[in-house]
Structure 1
Amino acid sequence: MLGKRTYLLVAVLAIAVVVVALTFLVFKPLTGPATTKRVVTYAYRDAITGVDPSVEDDTGIMILHLVYETLLRYDPKTGGYSYVLAKSVEKVNDTVWRIVLRDDARFHDGSPVTAYDVNFSIWRTKLVYEELGRGLGYIWECVNSTKVLDDKTIEIVTSYPCDIRPTLAAAYGAFIYSKNVLKLSGISDIVSEELITWFNKGNELGSGPYKIVKYEPENEVVLEKFSDWWGWKEINNPNAPDTIIIKIVEDPGEQERLLRSGGIDIASSVPRSSIKVLKDSGFGVVVADTFHNFILMFNTRRCPTNITDVRKAIAYAIPWDSIVEQSLMGYGKKGSGLIPYGFPGYSSKWALKQDLDKARQLLSKANAPCELRLEMVITQGYEEEEAFAKLLKAELQKIGVDLEIKALPWEQMKSLGQSVWEKPEEAPHLIINDWWPTYLIPYDYFSLLECLEPEKGVINYWNWAGYCNKEFDEVLSKAYEKSLESLEESLPLYEEVQKIVFDDMPAVNLWDMQHIYVYNQQRIRFRDGAFNSLYTYTVFFQYVEVLK
């Protein structure tokens, strides 16, 4: 005979079964097995400066190449180009290029990528630069007109013989996005500041493997996988991240702490002194070659660095054979001319050697009419700049030059560098400008010293040296025009440009960077293709595997 306790137990069990069943039905997906999203958290050092695909020219590069796509991509293995949104790029004649788009590319709203969208993207980028002076639309300078032949075919007509391929694969200003952004934003003027603001709120309509779902540029950016991206079936990476969390962590020490505690999976900027210890502890380390260099610029409009021999004396005081080891812990290459190693036009002939006797002779010859007391500004949190500055200070003391070092946040440092034009006495004598290219044209590096026409109010605000030399500008202009037609034929002209820089010494390349990524190799694996020397700081996460 069943007692009350037995009936009570049966009732409780029945209720439990119902609860479990309901829970299973509520939380179990209606189709397919339960899946866990693959999430990767990546720490980056600097705030994101913008994500307008036609305007951004700085740190937004690391987001843009995941959300948007270009027609071609530079291939560091061959030095040529691979196809992305384009499936063919044909030179019809000296001034006409025909581009045929791949058939399977779609934007994040599901609409197909068409030649009309390519046409729209090219002209907005070009016009925003020409009318507002925003972005890097000069890369489309040789374009005279475009003609859409059908949904998948567009012809670009240039004003003169011009190889359009470096532009199609550029790091900035070459992104393709949907013309439907006008409908989505409710803004009809393609060159308006309002549309730039709309993009820089995190709105987008690209075709890349990831979509922006959260955009707080000073704190965190979150990207989610675009399942309809055409490339998934080609690269066959089922373990690619479903969600990418990019955390802005300025302090390298904090990046290391987060990596060790599991708060992040990949760190872009741990202290270099910690890399070996982290590797010995089981973390993975990737050393990526880049075209990113650090250029020491001299204030040519303030005494004593307005004297050529003083600038050369400082350059010869630098301990060139040890700065990479001491400032970068060996992760980089000594600079030789303004063009970095591996980039078209690079030559080892411009490399300097330390010569303190020569430095003293140059200072004596200069006979500067002011004190040999210099101010140097470096970027706060950049340990390589801090290490170099301390090294330089010690060497300059040996030749009777005092150096005061100030570390400032990037935006404040940038403002001081630009002040060389209006207030040269307030701008530092020495400042380091780290630089990476827009596209595979040597002009990009020498453009830092282009004077333009300051007397007419046309100022190059990246020229923190305040350097003006008409001969330099003229030869650089010829080299630039020639390089658009034929990169190979332009290289002798760039040699002439480099010689002028060497003789005048308004700036000197300290080193070419290697970027170090330290990661939890129990969770992450990098495939070939995750890094590309032209697209600085970009991790192509479609080539990253999340293991668990």
Structure 2
Amino acid sequence: MRRLLSLLLVLMLIMGALAGCGQKSQETSDKSNQQNANTQQVAQETTYQRNETVYFGGGLWSPPSNWNPLTPWNAVTGTVGLIYETLFNYDPLKNEFIPWLAEKGEWTSDNTYQITLRDGLTWQDGKPLTSEDVKFTFEIAKQYSEIYYSPMWQWLQSIETPDNKTVIFKFSTVNYHEWAYNLYQIPIIPKHIWADKSKDDMLNGANEKAIGSGPYLFDTYSNDRMVYKRNDNWWGIKAMNMTPAPKRIVYLIVPSNNVALGMLMKGELDLSNFFLPGIKTLKANYGITTFYDNPPYMIPDNTVFMFINTTKSPLNNVELRRAMAYAINPKVIAEKVYENQVEPANPLGFVPAKAWEEYYDKNVVNKYGYTYDPEKAKSILDAAGFKLGSDGVRTAPDGKRFKLEISVPYGWTDWMEAAKIVADQLKAVGIDAEAKFPDYSKYYEDLTKGTFDLSFNNFGSQVTSTPWTLYNWLFNKVQENGPQNNGNFGRFDVPGLQDLIAKFNQTKLGSPEAKQAAAQLEEIFLKNMPAIPLWYNGLWFQASNAAWENWPTEHDPYAYPVTWGGRWQTGGTMMLMKIKPKASQ
């Protein structure tokens, strides 16, 4: 039931984390080796008018080779959002669902949700988009259990389409939080194109020259870029009175943060979704726009947690985990590593977003939470039998020495420096710890197989319409056999935990019952500390004003400025409607 959400979270946070650390871990499909040479040459050699073209970077990590909306973790960034669209968009800044393909959606009973589509919806080939397309999109996941949102059919009972504009979803069990999230995550696909595809083509096909309903068309691509062309027949121009400003979007593979920095300074990159140091100098000397004028400059987008392997001794000792929470001071990381472009996380790891604030139970945090207090950490360790030796290193209650490794991927330089700081802070209270930097594949293998000690990760902590997504990830059901791919990497569990997560999912958003269930989950988290929230990873956003202007900022927060894969429908598409070519060009 929870695989859909988990897969999507992993996809989106991998993209965000990679952009933050300048890494490239996506594997290139074999199909990329079969790209048409002429197409590549055209894409690389064509020069577009600068006042019609925006150049983006930070979400493309390998040569474009997949545009399949049914495998969004492999699809080129923009496949969902620019080509294929969702029923709603979502604005994390305002916590608002933005009617998109759907004109409205409402619960007509406790277990029935009705969608009314807009008038005049069309696919990019001119054919009408109707309720049958929506029904087809959801029902192929019932037909083929391998589709990533197929588990929804464990609680979705039936779909009815009484007319071309109306879609009625009936549920056997209503997962209100998960459904709200799905409304802006599942891209609608054209039945008249996909109905004749084989199962293998649906699940494994590259879907080159994709045809969706969105504001941009598949134009061309090469080894280092994806080019989208504006759909001047887009239904939204009339229905929503919106016209995308750029005629073309060129999404570039930018190999490193330093390259992105140079391109931004020269006006060759209009928007960067990378972590870039020296932002204060960039703003002062090069007129670079960030969302906030002052620190942290960036919107807090997700939380970096240090997962603790609760299956290993002595990390299975809750007092050791609590002591580590008191021993770590993320403020040092924010200052020394990120130049205050990030902020220390709160004890729950809740991103400071409107959708989550109402679920943050201050009474629970005040009772069970923690602050940086190394003396408190020492007293907890002393009381728990972690004795301090003459060499300043503690032994476990059974008298054995132990050493903890903090694992982050090699090359993720900001996380590497942060891991060193955490290791030093743990040493300061007598816990022998050392930062280790395996390559990404080894890091991920250790993380998912549970062979690590301590490990940083943020792949499922980004802001969404509900903090249920966070707990679905933090407390993901432990797999008895096989890797733990979708969160809860430390394999934490207590009796009744999964039932409580399901209960939270089945409460109406914002209801007293939802807040009560959230508070119970928060208490379990703080009492057991299976992971320690460290800092809010930023929505890295730096925009050049050399060729384009009117970027979203705190003064005009009209859009969440994200272009990472799977995130366009949470602000990136809206941003394209409001930016303007520089008047002086």
Q: What SS does the aligned partner of 2:98 have?
A: strand
CA separation in 1, counterparts of 2:124 and 2:525?
46
Amino acid in the other structure paired with 1:42: F
Q: Is the 8 A contact 2:59 2:77 kept in 1?
A: no
Matched, 1:339 2:350: yes
Matching residue of 1:53 = 69
CA separation in 1, counterparts of 2:559 and 2:76?
17
CA separation in 2, counterparts of 1:87 and 1:480?
25
Alignment of 1:84-483 (within 5 A): 84-125=100-141, 128=144, 131-132=145-146, 134-138=147-151, 142-160=155-173, 163=176, 166-167=179-180, 170-172=183-185, 174-182=186-194, 187-189=197-199, 192=200, 194-198=201-205, 200=206, 202-214=208-220, 219-233=224-238, 240-272=245-277, 274-287=278-291, 289-336=299-346, 337-342=348-353, 343-344=355-356, 345-347=359-361, 350=365, 352-364=370-382, 365-367=384-386, 368=396, 369=398, 370-408=400-438, 410-420=440-450, 424=451, 427-437=452-462, 439-450=464-475, 452=477, 454-455=479-480, 461-483=486-508
Alignment of 1:47-86 (within 5 A): 47=61, 51-57=67-73, 62-76=78-92, 78-86=94-102
Which stretch shows the higher mean deviation, 528-537 or 276-285?
A: 528-537
Matched, 1:539 2:569: no
Q: Is the 8 A contact 1:142 1:160 kept in 2?
A: yes
Q: Is the 8 A contact 2:508 2:514 kept in 1?
A: yes
TM-fit CA distance, 1:417: 0.8
Q: What SS does the aligned partner of 2:329 have?
A: coil
Q: Is the 8 A contact 2:177 2:468 kept in 1?
A: no
Q: Is the 8 A contact 2:406 2:423 kept in 1?
A: no
Amino acid in the other structure paired with 2:311: R
Q: What SS does the aligned partner of 1:99 have?
A: strand
TM-fit CA distance, 1:276: 0.9
Matching residue of 2:57 = 43
Matching residue of 2:38 = none
Structure that is richer in strand per residue: 1
CA separation in 2, counterparts of 1:138 and 1:65?
23
CA separation in 2, counterparts of 1:248 and 1:412?
24
CA separation in 2, counterparts of 1:470 and 1:202?
47
CA separation in 2, counterparts of 1:237 and 1:88?
18
Q: Is the 8 A contact 1:47 1:59 kept in 2?
A: no
Matched, 1:503 2:527: yes
Q: What SS does the aligned partner of 1:435 have?
A: coil
TM-fit CA distance, 1:459: 5.3
CA separation in 2, counterparts of 1:475 and 1:164?
13
Q: Is the 8 A contact 2:92 2:463 kept in 1?
A: no
Q: Is the 8 A contact 1:70 1:85 kept in 2?
A: yes
Larger Rg: 1
User: 1:247-274: CA deviations, max 9, x gaps?
Assistant: 22242112101222343222221423x1
**Alpha-carbon distance change, 329 to 306 in structure 1, aligned in 2, over 3 angstroms:** same
CA separation in 2, counterparts of 1:119 and 1:110?
20
Q: Is the 8 A contact 1:71 1:169 kept in 2?
A: no
TM-score (norm 2): 0.76
TM-score (norm 1): 0.80
Q: Which has the higher contact order (CA 8 A, sep 6+)?
A: 2
Aligned length: 497
User: 1:464-484: CA deviations, max 9, x gaps?
Assistant: 112222232232222222257
Which stretch shows the higher mean deviation, 523-532 or 393-402?
A: 523-532
CA separation in 1, counterparts of 2:558 and 2:235?
17
Q: Is the 8 A contact 2:88 2:184 kept in 1?
A: no
Q: Is the 8 A contact 1:214 1:223 kept in 2?
A: yes
Amino acid in the other structure paired with 1:182: W
CA separation in 1, counterparts of 2:244 and 2:500?
51
CA separation in 1, counterparts of 2:183 and 2:411?
29
**Alpha-carbon distance change, 214 to 171 in structure 1, aligned in 2, over 3 angstroms:** farther
Q: Is the 8 A contact 2:323 2:378 kept in 1?
A: yes
CA separation in 2, counterparts of 1:431 and 1:385?
8
Amino acid in the other structure paired with 2:285: S
**Alpha-carbon distance change, 242 to 149 in structure 1, aligned in 2, over 3 angstroms:** same
CA separation in 2, counterparts of 1:451 and 1:75?
26
CA separation in 1, counterparts of 2:271 and 2:246?
13
Q: Is the 8 A contact 1:45 1:268 kept in 2?
A: yes
CA separation in 2, counterparts of 1:372 and 1:444?
34
TM-fit CA distance, 1:297: 0.6
Which runs of 5 or more residues in structure 2 are unaligned? 1-47, 292-297, 387-395
Q: Which of 534, 542, 546 is 1:522 aligned to?
A: 546
Q: Is the 8 A contact 1:106 1:230 kept in 2?
A: yes
User: 1:41-67: CA deviations, max 9, x gaps?
Assistant: 111156279653234258866541222
CA separation in 2, counterparts of 1:447 and 1:322?
29
Amino acid in the other structure paired with 1:499: E
Matching residue of 1:25 = none
Q: Is the 8 A contact 2:83 2:217 kept in 1?
A: yes
Which runs of 5 or more residues in structure 1 are unaligned? 1-33
**Alpha-carbon distance change, 151 to 68 in structure 1, aligned in 2, over 3 angstroms:** same
TM-fit CA distance, 1:115: 0.4
Amino acid in the other structure paired with 1:102: R
Q: Is the 8 A contact 2:68 2:207 kept in 1?
A: no
Amino acid in the other structure paired with 2:345: G
Q: What SS does the aligned partner of 2:198 have?
A: coil
Q: What SS does the aligned partner of 2:457 have?
A: strand
Which stretch shows the higher mean deviation, 51-60 or 326-335?
A: 51-60
CA separation in 2, counterparts of 1:168 and 1:310?
36
